[in-house]
Amino acid sequence: MKYFDYAATTPPDSDVVRTMAEIMEAHYGNPSSIHGYGERADQLLRRARSGCAAALGVKPEEIVFTSGATESNNLAIKGVALRYQTRGKHLITTATEHASVYESFLQLQQWGWEVTWLPVDSDGRVSTQQVMDALRPDTVLVSLMHVNNETGIIHPVAEIGNRLKSAAPRVLFHVDGVQAFGKLEAKPASWGADLYSLSAHKIRGPKGAGLLYVRSGVELTPLLSGGSQEQGMRAGTENVPLIVGMAKAMRLAAERQLAFAGRATVLRDRIMQTIETIPGLRMNSRKDGAPHIIHFSYPGMKAEVALHTLEQLGIIVSTQSACSSRSAEPSRVLLAMGRDAASASGGLRISLGNEHTEEDVALLEQALHQMVAQLRPLERR
């Protein structure tokens, strides 16, 4: 089997697994305890916090550890909306965000906030000008992903953040960096971002660990009531082993970023070229997108059928995003890009990781040809 679903999740790095196992067994103290066991755990936590902060170019006290990016996104969006509601109740996002962002805004809408859902163009992109045009005196938050998890399209977060900072400094800017970290440069503070979400399991770290960068001075209403951990923004005993694992995964991903992006781009371009030569398939990703994601539609076929055929041929890919792939609905992202229902329900995503080679890609290409040849007689017309 060849696994090409790194945007859904990645195999944890062996070094990361070893470190986490060691800490779980040997340093199980509660970092809030004041005895030696607690202090040792607190030291590990502090070191991990500094490591995560360094990888993002921010201060350690600006890092809030969470259970993953779903929680980070919920905390950023609802935490800001609740905290700053007297300033205004208008929020801006796009129609193509991850479910954890999309559903958070839907919930706020039900609770009485007003949300502007920016439309995207046929490549899935939103422009800086669209964001600026949507601003109102009562706008409190703009939330935008850096890289789209289905198509790999890159949003101009640095340009948007810097324009916002000069034109509307009171508007807070949240970036979902989950699919971008380790593939593109991640410097939220220099972009003028106030909040930045990240997930460990997309970068060879553990599932169930994530973080939210919260710029000094930004306040959030916590979503969980409890202890005063994480600067009072996220109650609950910190999961020290997973957090240390995430810090290590972030360091490795940052160190490998340039080399990975270079290698993945070559493989991605080759795969895109192959897909473009297969009649019946339609490319949804662009060559100026993220280096690790290739998304295409097979409008003649239901995506699940294509996915299982590829699996029988030894290739693992994904339909939509992992979080939505069990839903029977066509992709919300592709519909927002103006694709018809057949394309939106026939979408497949290939995503690359560190160890993929030219040989792996040759197997993938062979399987794609074989899949279409096998399914051709069954295509809907």
Nearest distance in Å: CB 326, ligand PMP: 13
Task: Give the DSSP H or E segment for 211.
Answer: strand 210-214
Q: Which of 12, 68, 182, 346 binds ligand PMP (CB under 6 A)?
A: 68
Residues in 71-100 at the binding interface with ligand PMP, rule: CB under 6 A = 73, 98, 100
Residue 257 in contact with ligand PMP, rule: CB under 6 A? no
Is 323 among the catalytic positions? yes
For residue 351, the cross-strand partners are: 5, 293
Coil, strand or helix: which one is 303?
helix
What six digits make up the tokens of 220? 């959030």
Given candidates 42, 176, 230, 238, which one binds ligand PMP under the rule CB under 6 A? 176
- Which H/E stretch holds residue 348? strand 347-351
From the candidates 323, 341, 362, 378, which is the catalytic residue? 323
Closer CB to ligand PMP, residue 71 or residue 365?
Answer: 71
Q: Which stretch in 32-40, 112-120, 235-243, 317-325 sits in contact with ligand PMP by CB under 6 A?
A: 317-325
- Contact with ligand PMP (CB under 6 A) among 52, 69, 108, 310: 69
Q: How far apart (Å, rounded) are the C-alpha atoms in residues 63 and 198?
A: 11
Instruction: Tell me if 264 sits within 8 A of 7, measured CB to CB.
Output: no
Q: Which of 95, 223, 316, 322: binder of ligand PMP (CB under 6 A)?
A: 322
Task: Report in angstroms how near the CB of residue 202 gets to ligand PMP at its nearest.
Answer: 6
Beta bridge partners of 196: 175, 213
Helix %, strand %, coil % of the chain (to 5): 45, 15, 40
> Which residue, chain included where needed, has tokens 């509601």?
85
* Part in contact with ligand PMP (CB under 6 A); list of ranges 68-76, 167-175, 259-267, 287-295: 68-76
Residue numbers annotated as active site: 323
Q: Which residues bind ligand PMP (CB under 6 A)?
A: 68-70, 73, 98, 100, 145, 149, 176, 178-179, 199, 210, 321-323
